[in-house]
Amino acid sequence: MTKDAAPSAAGRPRLSGAPTGSPRQDIIREATALFVAKGYAETTMSEIARSAGLRQSSLYYWFARKEHILQALLEENRSSLALAASLEGRSGPAAPRLYAVLHADAMQLCSAPLDFYEFERVARSQPQNFGAFFDDYAALHGLTASIVRQGVESGEFQAVESEDAATAALGLNEGLQRHYRQPLPGLRSYSAEQVSGLSADTTLARLLAAPGKLAAVRAEAADLTAGWNPSAES
């Protein structure tokens, strides 16, 4: 049941006559487009089925629950954690590493198919299926706090409590991604790059012992991120 992708032409043919490619991937692709356009809660299984070219009840052959489609989406979005894991253990000043991690996380939050909070809501209602989500978050938080601690110990950063600083930094990322996804009426709207820059700038400006170095930190962070390939890590 729920095989990954069977390009075989077996099974009852579709009424729509549509060419049955890789149903699982088709469903994920169409669902992603709909989630992006309308959000998770507002997208119905009937709409996904119509887009993917089969009937609503047939969807449940591939995904027993609506949340499982979301779960399949999640597993393609873990790159910022990999970057953080890589940069946490690297030598050199902490500030550019922290900037790179925060900026990459914000960019990922902005470009993900789903609003972070919508994702979190679903994850919380299905803890047994989304344990990886919370594990990843806790790991990212821990790595962020670790980089902060390194910066504090080296004197780059002011003397802050590293766990709280990490919570604030990630919370700022989450709060600001909203302003990219859903600009509030009457306020200016931001691009993903602007949101990510604002968030990382704000956190670093708060932490740096020498605030004048922010521009240099930003440039160094760009070097760290350049050529980063999430899947090419040990």
Partner DNA sequence: CGCCTTTTCGATAAGTTATTGAAAGTCTGT
Partner DNA sequence: ACAGACTTTCAATAACTTATCGAAAAGGCG
The one of DNA, a copy of itself, none whose footprint includes residue 19, by CB under 5 to 8 A per kind, is none
The amino acid at 73: L
Smallest distance, a copy of itself to C-beta of residue 187, A: 6
The one of a copy of itself, DNA, none whose footprint includes residue 129, by CB under 5 to 8 A per kind, is none
Chain-centre distance of CA 66, in angstroms? 20
Contact 69, 63 (CB under 8 A): yes
The correct pick among 60, 61, 137, 228 for binding a copy of itself (CB under 8 A) is: 137
Decide if residue 126 touches a copy of itself (CB under 8 A). Answer: no
Residue ranges that bind DNA, judged by CB under 7 A: 3, 6, 8-16, 20, 23, 43-47, 54-58, 60-62, 64-67
For DNA, give the closer residue by CB, 36 or 214: 36
Alpha-helix runs per DSSP H in the chain: 23-38, 45-52, 56-62, 66-74, 79-88, 94-111, 116-125, 131-154, 162-181, 192-207, 214-225
DSSP 208: B
Contact 218, 199 (CB under 8 A): no
What Rg do the C-alpha atoms of the chain give, in angstroms?
A: 21
Q: How many CB atoms lie within 10 A of CB 222?
A: 13
Q: Which two tokens stand for residue 164?
A: 């709280």
* Helix (H/G/I), strand (E/B), else coil: 61: helix
The correct pick among 67, 202, 225, 230 for binding a copy of itself (CB under 8 A) is: 202
The correct pick among 153, 164, 193, 223 for binding a copy of itself (CB under 8 A) is: 164
The amino acid at 96: P
Per-residue binding string, a copy of itself, 20-39, x by CB under 8 A, is: --------------------
Count of residues near a copy of itself by CB under 8 A: 39
* Interactions with a copy of itself, residue window 206-225 (CB under 8 A): 206, 211
The residues of the shown chain that bind a copy of itself, judged by CB under 8 A, are 41, 117, 120, 124, 127, 134-135, 137-138, 141, 158, 163-165, 167-168, 170-176, 178-179, 182, 184-188, 190, 198-199, 202-203, 205-206, 211
